[in-house]
Chains A and B, each alone.
Chain A
Amino acid sequence: MRQNKAVIGSAVGFIGVMIIILLIAKPSALIFGIQRAGLYAAIALPMALVLGIVHIVNLAHGEMMMIAAYLTYSICVAFGLDPLVAMVPTAVIMFFVGMLLFRFTIRYALKAPELNQLILTFGLAMVLSQGINLLATSQPRKLSVDYVTSSATIGNVSFGTYDFIFLAVAVIFLTGLMLFLKKTRLGKAAMAVGQNPVGAQFVGINVISTYTIIFAIASAMLGIMGAFFITKMSIFPTVGGAYTMKSFCLVAMAGIGNLPMVLLSSLVLGISESAVQSIPGGTGWSPLVFFGLIIAVILFRSYAKTAGVK
């Protein structure tokens, strides 16, 4: 626990220092970085939930968000709805899609070696993205809505205001999940199953249904994110892959099972990436910062832990 505090402390410290530097040197980079962090965190949180409780690495994570975005797109085109309205049916449908996927595939791989779940979800990801490719071609699609381009100007810095919505979504997701896990019966059961599936079974918790519900909730969250995603980004069949990888990295950086750290890690990465990109010629190097930071944090935590043990 002490080690955890040290990590959180250094993350907060790091963010603080970055904020001060950027406020002085490049305030716009700070704003863009925070917005980017919101997007990262909102997509990574469902993965953190699944990995933390069901203990599977879902390589179809990004693809499920992609499916949700296509779902939103079709609903909007068919009924002339706004994506943020179409979000509701999308989330509901994704809840059941997640439930079915879990019931009919992933569930059977739970008892197999851990890696099977990884490859199973890799296969699912392939089926999902190639299926959409066949149905909708690889040509990107995007819904244009006016409010996305709303902006504000403070001093001589102008920036988009809509993009803060991703940060808001991330915070709502996080608060909702924390409340759910700490306060509700189902949430507490899920925590128990996550910590000790065998033990939970002994005290009468149905492990499989708990897993199913958690996976379905994560899918519904991805459904919500899919709707937000298409307001801002183009969608195409392979759009999800990069977000699977980024989410996976973020969750590992945060520490498996540690939801609040996902948000902090996203802030660290988003702001650092944005800072590097604000330097002319820096874009090419920004992935180096992303992955370098991830390795650094993981190593730091591991050493802090061994030091703590001694």
Chain B
Amino acid sequence: MKGRLLFACALLLIIAAPALIMASGAADSEADTIKFGGVWPLGDITGEQGSKAAQLAIDEINANGGLLGRTVELVIIDSEFSPEKGASAIERLANIDKVDFFVGGMASGVHLGQIPIMKKYQKVTMWTGAASHLAEAAVGPDQDWYFHLHPWDYNQGASYVTGWNAIAEKYDEISIDRWFLAYEEGPFGSSSFEATKMLFSDLEVDGEAFQTAAAGGGDYSAVIERAKKYNPDVFIWAGYDADALPLMEQSKTLNFSPALYVGAPPGWPADFGNSPLAENVTLYGMWAPAINAVSDVSKRFSDGYVAKYGALPATYFAPLGYTAIMILAEAVEAAGTVEKDAVIAALEAIKYESPLGEIISFEPSNVISHQGIKNQKILQWQNGRQEVIWPFEFATAEPVYPFTPWGER
């Protein structure tokens, strides 16, 4: 019995010691590399493509002779969608890899765990994910090192108000007086609903939750039935990619075809455009391959991504990841150094033309002082492609209205 204990302890020591020694020993990096540390959930398509697009940006910079004459490097660590893993990853990037900048990000639940650690190191951070206003509250005011690219939940809501008002104004036949929101009951869907109710308070808004297929749900009959009874001008569902096709099918089954059928998932299922059900579905997003037609930066990014990875990016986290690296690189170039205050000053003055179409500069949002993108785009599935219909300066197609009834497809 005692021998067993001793053996266990010895084994523990053997396993733990080298690992811990390796963890404490700083990796000797060449002093003249500029290092970016990225944390994404690599098992998810958003994080996978975001990290790969960031790597693409790094490769492009190095191919063009590096930054300030130095090579750049990206260290990628998986957050595994877990706050403690995400937080450890930041500790590792700060202490072992000794990176100059933090990039990456997806999922507010992970980011909340990372924010306290980031605040400890206060490295210049270019974050591409986390929309929850709670994450913004956790960062708090006066954190000049924190740059947030992705719009906060309330930014997105406000941009929809602007977008829809502009669309309704431009196209007389489109009416947007009655809204129904079908939202998944998690943080993503329910905060969308709260924001919509608040922002569209002068319009008629109703909503109902559903259990997303991503969490074992997938039965939308109750919510569709309620929406049908409510008879909205605009029907929006805020769920995940896994909900898209089953929801459309069940709408067809129950013959629910509102004049505007809007989907607001962060991504779409594979080959969604090929489904006959997809035609004329309106959607929110930040990027689609169609933007290549109106933006050279987007085209350059998209071609580079296809050349390196053999397929078009499927989520907007790819152009966001690319943007995070490129915008930092441009600021470093402008500052002529990687020194923190100079880079922050350069970022504050930056006007970066991004693959997402818009020119990004940083302004205060509700709490933080450096918010990048504030608008989502309104797009529509037409002939299997996502076409931009708003903002009008990036528009690649006119909206089709109303949504073709199921019987006429």
A283 touches B210 (CB 8 A): yes
Query: Is A293 an interface residue when CB atoms closer than 8 A count as contact?
Result: no
Partner pick for A159 among B43, B213, B254, B406, CB 8 A cutoff: B254
Interface presence of A308 (CB below 8 A) = no
- Interchain CB contact (< 8 A) of B45 among A137, A158, A274, A284: A137
Within 8 A of A (CB), among B226-279: 226, 240-246, 249-250, 252-255, 267, 269-271, 275-277
Contact indicator A139/B45 (Cβ below 8 Å): yes
A140 & B242 in contact (Cβ 8 Å cutoff): yes
Q: Given A138-B44, A151-B253: A144 and B276 within 8 A (CB)?
A: yes
Q: Considering only CB atoms, which chain B residue lies closest to A274 in the complex?
A: B222
Which residues on B sit within 8 Å (CB–CB) of A149? 249-250, 252-253, 406
Q: Is B218 an interface residue (CB 8 A)?
A: yes
The listed residue (A137, A142, A150, A283) touching B48 by CB distance below 8 A is A137
A184 CB–B CB distance under 8 Å: no
List chain B residues, Cβ under 8 A from A36: 219
Other than the given A234-B269, A283-B222, 12 more pairs (CB < 8 A) read A32-B219, A32-B222, A138-B48, A151-B254, A233-B213, A233-B242, A236-B242, A274-B219, A277-B219, A280-B208, A280-B226, A283-B211
Q: Is A286 interfacial (CB 8 A cutoff)?
A: yes
Contact with A along B197-239 (1 / 0, CB 8 A): 0000000000011110111101101110110000000000000
The reply on B185 being an interface residue by CB < 8 A is: yes
Verify if A160 is at the interface (C-beta below 8 Å from B): yes
- Interface contact A133-B43, CB-CB below 8 Å: yes
A131 vs B218: C-alpha distance in the bound complex, in angstroms?
Answer: 24
Distance in angstroms between the alpha carbons of A137 and B223 in the assembled complex = 29
User: A236 to B267, alpha carbons, bound, how many Å?
Assistant: 13
Q: With an 8 A cutoff between CB atoms, is A241 at the interface?
A: yes
Flag whether B75 is at the interface (Cβ < 8 A): no
Given contacts A130-B43, A137-B45, contact A283 B218 (CB under 8 A): no
Chain A residues lying within 8 Å of B269, measured Cβ to Cβ, are 139-142, 234
**Smallest CB–CB gap between B220 and chain A, Å?**
10
Interface status of A301 (Cβ within 8 A of chain B): no
Cα distance A154–B254 in the bound complex, in angstroms? 12
Q: Is A160 a contact partner of B250 (Cβ separation < 8 A)?
A: yes
Contact with A along B39-58 (1 / 0, CB 8 A): 00001110010000000000
Enumerate chain B residues within 8 angstroms of A242, measured Cβ to Cβ: 215-216
Most A CB within 10 A of own CB, among B185, B209, B214, B219: B219
Per-residue interface assignment for chain A, residues 249 to 274, with 1 indicating a CB less than 8 Å from any chain B CB and 0 otherwise: 00000000000000000000000001
A103 touches B (CB below 8 Å): no
Q: How far is the CA of A277 from the CA of B254 in the complex (A)?
A: 17
Closest 7 CB pairs of A and B: A242-B216, A160-B253, A234-B242, A142-B245, A140-B242, A277-B222, A140-B269
Q: What is the number of residues of chain B that contact chain A, defined by CB distance less than 8 Å?
A: 42
On whether A139 and B267 interact (CB within 8 A), knowing A144-B275, A149-B249, the answer reads: yes
Q: How far is the CB of A141 from chain B (nearest CB, A)?
A: 5
Q: A109-145 interface mask toward B, CB cutoff 8 Å, 1 = contact, 0 = none?
A: 0000000000000000000001001000111111010
Residue B400, interface by CB 8 Å: no
Contact call A139/B241, Cβ cutoff below 8 A: yes
Binding site for B on A (CB under 8 A): 28-29, 32, 36, 130, 133, 137-142, 144, 148-151, 158-160, 162, 232-234, 236, 239, 241-243, 245-246, 274, 277-278, 280-281, 283-284, 286-287
Q: Are A233 and B185 in contact (CB-based, < 8 A)?
A: no
Residue of B nearest to A244 (CB): B216
- The answer to whether the Cβ of B68 comes within 8 Å of any Cβ in the partner chain is no
B45 near A138 with CB under 8 A, answer yes
Which residues on A sit within 8 Å (CB–CB) of B243? Answer: 234
Bound CA–CA A160/B219 (angstroms): 12
Q: Report the nearest A residue to B47, measured CB to CB.
A: A138
Residue of B216, B241, B253 touching A140 (CB-CB under 8 A)? B241
- Nearest opposing residue in chain A for B217, CB measure: A242
Q: B314 on the interface (CB 8 Å rule)?
A: yes
Q: What residues of chain A lie closer than 8 Å to B245, measured between beta carbons?
A: 140, 142, 144, 234
Q: Which residues of A contact B277 (CB under 8 A)?
A: 144
Output the nearest chain B residue to A278 by Cβ-Cβ distance: B222
Q: Are A284 and B209 in contact (CB under 8 A)?
A: yes
Question: CA of A241 to CA of B215 in the docked complex: distance in angstroms?
Answer: 9
Write out the residue numbers on chain B whose beta carbons fall within 8 Å of the beta carbon of A233: 213, 218, 242, 246
Given contacts A139-B270, A140-B242, whether A286 and B211 have CB atoms under 8 Å apart is yes
